[in-house]
Amino acid sequence: MGLKSYVKKNAYYDSVVLMQVTKELKKSEDINEVIVGMGTALNKELAGNLGLLTDEVKATTQNDFFVSLDGEDTVDMDEVLNKITELLNKKKTSGDEDYRPATLKSALKVMPEANLALFSIPGEYAYEEVKKALDENLHVMLFSDNVTMDEEKKLKDYAKEKGLLMMGPDCGTAIINHTPLAFANVIKPGNIGIVGAAGTGTQEVSVLIDKFGGGTSQVIGTGGRDLKEQIGGTMMLMGFEALEADDETEVIVLISKPPHESIAKKILERVKECKKPVVVDFIGGDTEMIKSYGAHACISLEDAAQKAVALAKGNTPEDFTGFSMDEGAVDEMVEKEVQKYRNTQKYVRGLYTGGTLADEAMMVLTESLKAVYSNKPKSPEFKLEDVFKSRENTIIDLGEDEFTLGKPHPMIDPSARVERMKQEGSDENVAVVLMDMVLGYGSHEDPAGEMIESVKEAKDSMASKGGHLTVVASVCGTEGDPQDLKATEQKLKDAGVILMPSNAQAVKFVDKIMKRIS
Amino acid sequence: MKIELMDKNLYVQLINENEASFRVHSVFNQACNLYTSQGLWLTLVSKNKWLPPNGIKLNHSRDFRDCYLQDELIRFSIRDQEIKLLNLCLHSLEINQKESWKNKSLKLEYMKAYLDLEGKSEAIGKVDLPKGVKSSYHSLEKALEENNLEKIKIAAQGLIGFGNGLTPSMDDYLTGRILMWKTWTMQSTAVKEEDYSRVIQEASKGRTTTASEWMIRFAAQGRCSEEIINFLHSYFSKSSGSVFEDALKEVLEIGSTSGEDLIYGMWCEGMRLLKKYEGGNSEWD
Amino acid sequence: MSKINELFDSELKVINLGLESFSDDLKLQKKAVVHVEWRPVAGGNKKLSSILNQL
């Protein structure tokens, strides 16, 4: 048996260090008995009872620290002791650098100047916790969903009373004071302000603004349900007013799925009074109505970005309907793909991680294809019976609940899409797979890297049957994002993916292919 | 040295004694214990920490181990600064709306249930005590029932200094008992017992670490740190469930098991007092 | 000036409750953030929360 002890006179270690020492000692099963403590009479008595009272421990007094342990012959006691002394003498122990308060109140003690609380806690607890933050006059971003509509209304009304931002629930994207929050990209600073009720829609517009040479002042999220009748567009209006009063903002962009008509009117009435130019994208909504209030309507998220940048530069915005490259060249690309298909290949499968981007795809493709199945279809007759099995033309939003129960969102963990890609590739009726690739903070560190194996596998599978699988994607990311944009694009191209500069163009390209096939 | 907040008691003492030089006793990441030539004990804490008794909160959160060395002599003056003072005496607890008897009972139930669920296995409430300590533990309970100060002192002598941590677990437990007793008797005239905190303080002399001796001494004076005062306030006041729980969580964060042992001690004493003076006083309702 | 416009004119200082990755991302960008180790009320335990609810 090996009995060893370590004593340090007049030594005081804090609980973090002692916990690490205890943890280290518990690692080895061959350590039979151990005592860690100060040399008080009772601790020494305990050491004695455990057979751990060495002479040096006996000689300690209550302000001396000791460790005494007994282990099997298999344990190198000297090594164990070395590890312990190392831990005790380590200047910085990891994890104790940042104090982690247990509650919001104590966080405010640490940072009394805090001005925003970002919540990503389970939805069932969100209402109570968020209310506390609003009570403390903090602006709030609530990433969580599973908050009732009633709770959302109460929180937003309370926030409005206090003049505070209440971004969410279900708000995934915001960029405040040029700081990306939750899932957001790094966008060049500029004079375009955005209020978005659609997460990846906001990301796409902000990314394209950056791409077209513009920049953002503030990007405010409202959460997906803000423009529903029950909520009434409270946050969109508050955000809008703040941007109107903001000196840095010269152009305002509003993004949302088509709101309830009365809400749309309410928003547009307010927009009408605004002296700054306003671009309104009610994705697929009534463009004539928007124009009638003096705002600029949009045909796609990309179009919204183009118009915003044009206005920001003091130019006249024009509809952007086509492609960045020469249409003739696009048609050639279409032809090249179509020629390689087997005659069984006739369908498109859209595998999306971003909800709004999936919506945009569905919007465009439904016009030509009519029947587009989905887990969240435009009309109920096209709801997939089994969301895990595509049917004919299908666009899926992998970020929806049915796919994320107990699993991280696909923007964080691409594995759900990896599996689905292989599945689609083995279906000989599929001609095209369409996908998004969202970068920025919050997203996986290398989403392209995670996908390329399955892309290649899917393509090979189709090739082995004598056909050809077209994979089309767009990357929603900027040079400033933590992922490497260039490397991402290159990886995808090397895997045979056709990259388009925006989701809108990717979808239009696919649309051309589908028209050619039929 | 820019001071953000200070224990009022300490301020008065330092101002009167015009103390300016202090010996460093021990240094930690976010705290540092000092003592004066007169034997006065005080603690510097970073702005991230709650204020302890005889505490001085500085307005930075740099690692104190980069700033101070054990045994070095440091000098600073509190005279030339405008300092915010905090009263850490239980006497200063202003209970505007007293909690009902029923709710105090519920809160105790909650404390115990929370410890049972979330508590560490090394904490006093869960750990297997060695024979001698266990015997003293039960002797103490009996002695407290009888309010026999001599027996309380003897029992305490068999407990103080036991357990791990800079403030050994049993010391934290005893401190919890003392603080609950003191607050309870301040809030109610129903308790007809002699204050036993002094004998526990006497029992602690030479039996435990210096830091722990001072913790017990402060408790005997009816003084404790900010988060414990907040907890006691939320216990004795009409408070919502979530406010009470948040206050509980903050105390549980202390040390590794210190907070738990403190709460366990408070629970034991609260249960004893509730049972003994149960239904006796209409003041509670 | 509205509180929102005041926010636009100040340095953003965030308290993050929930996903640690959000705090990590803010730290990566050298932004001021305090992370709260948020735990549900009563540890998410039904018995505990039923006691609390009675208070």
For residue A39, what are its two tokens? 């040399």
Residue where a domain terminates, one of A89, A115, A148: A89
pTM for the model = 0.81
Yes or no: say if C20 and A412 are a contact pair by the CB < 8 Å rule. no
Whole-number Å distance between alpha carbons of A103 and C36: 6
- pLDDT beyond 70 at B285: no
Contact B241 C45 (CB under 8 A): no
Contact C55 B107 (CB under 8 A): yes
Contacts of A179 (CB under 8 A, 6+ apart): C12, C26, C29, C31
More confident residue, A500 or A18: A500
Contacts of A111 in chain C (CB under 8 A): 13, 15, 32, 34
Contacts of B249 in chain C (CB under 8 A): 39
Per-residue pLDDT averaged across A240-245, rounded? 97
Least confident of A92-101, A280-289, A501-510, B223-232: A92-101
Q: Is any Cβ of chain B less than 8 angstroms from the Cβ of A96?
A: yes
For residue A452, what are its two tokens? 């390329």
Tokens 């929360």 sit at which residue?
Answer: C49
Contact C43 B113 (CB under 8 A): no
Q: Per-residue pLDDT tens for B44-77?
A: 999 888 999 999 999 888 889 889 999 999 998 8
Element (H, E) at A179: strand A179-182
Contact A41 B161 (CB under 8 A): yes
- Would you tell me how many other CB atoms lie within 10 Å of the CB of residue A10? 13
- pLDDT beyond 90 at A29: no
C-alpha distances in angstroms, B247 versus B160, B231, B259?
A: 27, 5, 12
Residue where a domain terminates, one of A312, A346, A368: A312
For residue B118, what are its two tokens? 């979330």
For residue B145, what are its two tokens? 């029932």
Q: Which chains have 3 or more CB–CB distances shorter than 8 Å to chain B? A: A, C
Contacts of A481 (CB under 8 A, 6+ apart): A185, A186, A439, A440, A441
Find the CB nearest C38 among A121, A164, A242. Answer: A121
Tokens 């003056």 sit at which residue?
Answer: B77
Contact C25 A104 (CB under 8 A): no
Whole-number Å distance between alpha carbons of A159 and B6: 35
C-alpha distances in angstroms, B271 versus A19, A157, A174, A263?
A: 31, 43, 50, 57
Whole-number Å distance between alpha carbons of A263 and A245: 22
Q: Per-residue pLDDT tens for C6-44?
A: 999 999 999 999 999 999 999 999 999 999 988 876 667
Whole-number Å distance between alpha carbons of A323 and B2: 62
Contact C8 A441 (CB under 8 A): no
For chain A, the domain total comes to 3
Whole-number Å distance between alpha carbons of A513 and A430: 12
Classify B236 in phi/psi space as left (phi over 0), alpha (psi -120 to 50) or beta. alpha
Residue where a domain terminates, one of A61, A89, A117: A89
| Nearest-by-CA chain C residue for A117 | C15
ipTM of the prediction: 0.92
Contacts of A117 in chain C (CB under 8 A): 14-17
List the strands of the sheet with B84-86, edge to edge: B73-75, B21-27, B31-35, B41-45, B55-58, B3-7, B84-86
More confident residue, A86 or C10: C10
Domain at A41, CATH number: 3.30.70
Which residue from A80, A96, A101 is spatially nearest to A14, judged by alpha carbons? A96
User: Phi and psi for A218 in degrees, rounded to 5?
Assistant: -145, 145
| Nearest-by-CA chain A residue for B71 | A10
| % of chain B exceeding 70 in pLDDT | 97
Whole-number Å distance between alpha carbons of A423 and A48: 66
Tokens 């104090």 sit at which residue?
Answer: A99
Helix then strand count (H, E) for chain B reads 10, 7
Yes or no: say if B98 and B46 are a contact pair by the CB < 8 Å rule. no
Whole-number Å distance between alpha carbons of B153 and A60: 24
pLDDT mean across residues, chain B: 91
CA dihedral sign of residues A31, A37, A39, A41: negative
A351 and A297 in a common domain: no
Contact B28 A62 (CB under 8 A): no
For residue A344, what are its two tokens? 């069984």
Contacts of A261 (CB under 8 A, 6+ apart): none
Q: Per-residue pLDDT tens for A368-377?
A: 998 999 999 9
DSSP state of B223: B
C-alpha distances in angstroms, A277 versus A302, A305, A357, A449, C2?
A: 17, 13, 25, 40, 21
Q: Per-residue pLDDT tens for A419-441?
A: 999 999 999 999 999 999 999 99
Q: Is any Cβ of chain B less than 8 angstroms from the Cβ of A92?
A: yes
Q: Per-residue pLDDT tens for A257-276?
A: 989 899 999 999 999 999 99
A220 and A140 in a common domain: yes
Mutate: best of B23, B41, B208, B216, partner A, most A CBs <10 A? B208
User: Phi and psi for A212 in degrees, rounded to 5?
Assistant: -85, 10
Whole-number Å distance between alpha carbons of C25 and A412: 13
Find the CB nearest A38 among B158, B209, B246. Answer: B209
Contact C41 B241 (CB under 8 A): yes
Contact B29 A13 (CB under 8 A): no
Q: Is A512 helix (H, G, I), strand (E, B) or coil?
A: helix
Query: Is A184 part of a structural domain of the chain?
Result: yes
User: Phi and psi for B64 in degrees, rounded to 5?
Assistant: -65, -25
Q: Is any Cβ of chain B less than 8 angstroms from the Cβ of A109?
A: yes
Helix ranges, A5-76 (H): 15-27, 41-49, 55-58
Least confident of A242-256, A382-396, B151-165, C35-49: C35-49
Q: For chains A and C, count residue pairs whose Cβ atoms are closer than 8 Å.
A: 125
All structural domains of chain B with their residue ranges: 3-88, 93-284
Q: Per-residue pLDDT tens for A39-61?
A: 999 999 999 999 999 999 999 99
Beta bridge partners of A69: A4, A34
Tokens 């970002």 sit at which residue?
Answer: A118
Contact A120 C8 (CB under 8 A): no
A109 and A71 in a common domain: no
For chain C, list residues whose CB is within 8 angstroms of any CB belonging to chain A. 1-5, 7-8, 10-19, 21-22, 25-26, 28-29, 31-32, 34-41
Query: Is A321 part of a structural domain of the chain?
Result: no
For chain C, list residues whose CB is within 8 angstroms of any CB belonging to chain B. 39, 41-43, 45, 47-49, 51-55
CA atoms within 13 A on the CB side of A307: 24
A139 and A271 in a common domain: yes
- pLDDT beyond 60 at B230: yes
For chain B, list residues whose CB is within 8 angstroms of any CB belonging to chain C. 103, 106-107, 109-110, 113-114, 117-118, 239-242, 244-245, 249
Domain at A113, CATH number: 3.40.50.261
Contact A117 C21 (CB under 8 A): no
- pLDDT beyond 50 at B284: no
**Which pLDDT band, with edges at 50, 70 and 90, does A109 fall under?**
confident
A448 and A513 in a common domain: yes
Find the CB nearest A116 among C14, C37, C38. Answer: C14
| Nearest-by-CA chain A residue for C21 | A442
CA dihedral sign of residues B110, B113, B116, B117: negative
A356 and A274 in a common domain: no
Contacts of C20 in chain A (CB under 8 A): none
A85 and A111 in a common domain: no
pLDDT mean across residues, chain A: 92
Find the CB nearest B109 among C39, C45, C51. Answer: C51
Q: Per-residue pLDDT tens for B167-189?
A: 999 999 999 999 999 999 998 88
Beta bridge partners of B74: B22
For residue A259, what are its two tokens? 């709101």
- CATH top class, domain B3-88: mainly beta
Contacts of B58 in chain A (CB under 8 A): none
Q: Looking at CA atoms only, how far is residue C29 from chain B in angstroms?
A: 20
Domain range enclosing A14: 2-89
Helix axis angle, A149-162 relative to A234-245, nearest 10°? 30
pLDDT given at position B154 = 97
For residue A119, what are its two tokens? 């919540």
A437 and A387 in a common domain: yes
Mutate: best of C36, C46, C52, partner A, most A CBs <10 A? C36
| % of chain A exceeding 90 in pLDDT | 77
Whole-number Å distance between alpha carbons of C14 and B194: 50
pLDDT given at position B158 = 97
Yes or no: say if A6 and A84 are a contact pair by the CB < 8 Å rule. yes
